[in-house]
């Protein structure tokens, strides 16, 4: 990693934890952060825009991109593909910009494998009861899907020790402030700033 | 280290870099931080108060405390002893409070040796020319002492790779904000919060 590179921050968290809302708040406060929009084969939800929330695509095209080695990571999750474009992330980092990725646990592990300098952040709900309440309030999934997501979240908790930071989404503003503090702190890392002290 | 413990943050930096001013700003904004007042055998400067800036003492008493193993670290620096009381730091940490220490490089290394979980932060000036200007403006040292301090600072820069974070004191408020971000980020560390996710 070049010492002039931006930080690569990966955000994971259970469906329904409010990850997108927290990330939107961070991006509102920190215009200097580049948010990498993922590719997915899942259906767009009401209000979601192509190129903004996700790059929506179909399985055939996604699998073609896999063959062309265009993903930093990709994973299949609850029947759909999700992937991160390698080229744009590397470009932004080398320009010294911090890059934020919203990726589930499998994908985050792959990013860490490829980029050992990646910083992994896990957003958790204040409690599992609250997560269930939020998932139902969202009204985007049927009962089976909700159960699937809750089960998946419990499994993902087992992986949390591979992460660097845990952010609790009790209040969106507080959770966003914690992520912003992590971004600021990571910029102060000796590995990022050691060059300033050289040649004195 | 207990997962409920506070963070132990050690701040180092060259004489004249404005460390005390930056720390004062952090403590003003973050009343929840405990600042550990060091013991020293050096003369109090005009305006410095016993028990506030330092616990001022003489060599005989300091050496008696060394014999009683009462220091987390102590070091001799430009002809004077400086040391950190073990008991109070351990007490505050175990109560879950974050503790800030202002220690020079030798002492910081000893703290890290004794407490591997300590977070080391190095405050640097925007440039060495600026550091020299600040030292002269302080009017507390004669020419020989200033040269000694500058030489010492250059040597200390060699140790910076053992630190976790570098904070640049260009503007006091900015430097304080960076330290506050580090404190917040460190509280989000998985090692500090993993317990929340257990037993779900």
* Surface of B (124-153) touching A: CB under 8 A: 124, 128
Distance CA A181, CA A188 (A): 11
Q: For A54-113, what is each residue's pLDDT tens digit? A: 999 999 999 999 999 999 999 887 899 999 999 999 999 999 999 999 998 888 999 999
Contact between A185 and B181 using a beta-carbon 8 Å cutoff: yes
Predicted confidence band of residue B152 (pLDDT cuts 50, 70, 90):
confident
A34/A155: higher pLDDT: A34
pLDDT attached to residue B92: 94
Whether pLDDT at B119 is above 80:
yes
Contact between B184 and A177 using a beta-carbon 8 Å cutoff: yes
Does B63 lie at the interface with A, CB-CB under 8 angstroms? no
Distance CA A106, CA A12 (A): 10
Whether pLDDT at A200 is above 70:
no
Chain Cα centroid distance, residue B143: 26
Facing residue for A188 by CB, picked from B165, B193, B200:
B165
Facing residue for B161 by CB, picked from A168, A194, A196:
A194
Q: For B175-192, what is each residue's pLDDT tens digit? A: 999 999 999 999 999 998
pLDDT attached to residue A199: 55
Whether pLDDT at A176 is above 60:
yes
Among candidate residues B6, B24, B10, B9, the one with its CA nearest the CA of residue B175: B24
Predicted confidence band of residue B194 (pLDDT cuts 50, 70, 90):
confident
Over range B23-36, report the average pLDDT.
Answer: 95
Facing residue for B181 by CB, picked from A165, A181, A194:
A181
CB A183 within 8 A of CB A9: yes
For residue B102 the two structure tokens come to 């202002």
Predicted confidence band of residue B199 (pLDDT cuts 50, 70, 90):
low
Contact between A168 and B122 using a beta-carbon 8 Å cutoff: no
ipTM of the modeled complex:
0.85
pLDDT attached to residue A39: 94
Mutate which: B124, B160, B162, B166, vs A, most A CBs within 10 A: B166
Q: For A119-155, what is each residue's pLDDT tens digit? A: 999 999 988 888 888 888 888 888 888 888 888 888 8
Which chain B positions have a beta carbon within 8 Å of A165's beta carbon?
Answer: 185, 188-190
Average pLDDT over chain A, rounded to an integer: 90
pLDDT attached to residue B154: 84
CB A47 within 8 A of CB A64: no
pLDDT attached to residue A189: 95
**Long-range CB pairs of A69-76, under 8 A, 24+ apart, other chains included:** A71/A39, A72/A110, A72/A111, A72/A114, A72/A115, A73/A103, A73/A107, A73/A108, A73/A110, A73/A111, A73/A114, A74/A39, A74/A107, A74/A110, A75/A103, A75/A104, A75/A106, A75/A107, A75/A110
Report how many Cβ contacts below 8 Å link chain A to chain B: 91
For residue A140 the two structure tokens come to 């985007």
Q: Which H or E element spans position B147? A: helix B143-157
Predicted confidence band of residue B1 (pLDDT cuts 50, 70, 90):
very low
pLDDT attached to residue A53: 86
Which chain A positions have a beta carbon within 8 Å of B160's beta carbon?
Answer: 190, 194, 197
Distance CA A148, CA A146 (A): 5
Residue B49, phi then psi, degrees to nearest 5? -115, 140
DSSP string, A75-94: EEETTEEEEEEHHHHHHHHH
Over range B146-162, report the average pLDDT.
Answer: 86
Average pLDDT over chain B, rounded to an integer: 90
Predicted confidence band of residue B162 (pLDDT cuts 50, 70, 90):
very high
Whether pLDDT at B129 is above 90:
no
CB A44 within 8 A of CB A65: no
Facing residue for B185 by CB, picked from A128, A161, A182:
A182
Does B170 lie at the interface with A, CB-CB under 8 angstroms? no
Which chain B positions have a beta carbon within 8 Å of A164's beta carbon?
Answer: 189-190
Cβ-based burial of A49 (10 A; exposed 0-12, middle 13-18, buried ≥19): exposed
* Surface of A (96-125) touching B: CB under 8 A: 121-122, 124
Contact between A168 and B200 using a beta-carbon 8 Å cutoff: no
Whether pLDDT at B4 is above 80:
no
Facing residue for B189 by CB, picked from A165, A168, A197:
A165
Highest mean pLDDT among A59-68, A190-199, B105-114, B132-141: A59-68
Distance CA B76, CA B80 (A): 5
Over range B139-157, report the average pLDDT.
Answer: 85
pLDDT attached to residue A1: 45
């Amino acid at each position: 990693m070049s010492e002039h590179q931006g930080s690569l921050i990966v955000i994971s968290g259970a469906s329904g934890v409010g990850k997108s809302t927290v990330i939107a708040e961070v991006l509102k406060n920190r215009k200097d952060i580049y948010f990498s929009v993922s590719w997915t084969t899942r259906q767009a939800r009401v209000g979601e825009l192509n190129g903004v929330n996700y790059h929506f695509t179909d399985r055939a095209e996604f699998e073609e991109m896999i063959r062309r080695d265009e993903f930093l990571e990709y994973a299949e999750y609850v029947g759909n593909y999700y992937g991160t474009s390698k080229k744009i992330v590397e470009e932004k980092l080398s320009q010294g910009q911090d890059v934020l990725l919203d990726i589930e646990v499998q994908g985050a592990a792959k990013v860490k494998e490829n980029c050992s300098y990646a910083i992994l952040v896990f957003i958790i709900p204040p409690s599992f009861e609250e997560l269930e309440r939020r998932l139902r309030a969202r009204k985007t999934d049927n009962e089976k899907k909700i159960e699937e997501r809750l089960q998946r979240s419990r499994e993902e908790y087992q992986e949390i020790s591979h992460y660097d930071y845990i952010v609790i989404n009790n209040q969106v503003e507080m959770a966003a402030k914690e992520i912003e503090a992590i971004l600021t702190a990571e910029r102060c890392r000796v590995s990022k700033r050691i060059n300033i002290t050289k040649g004195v």
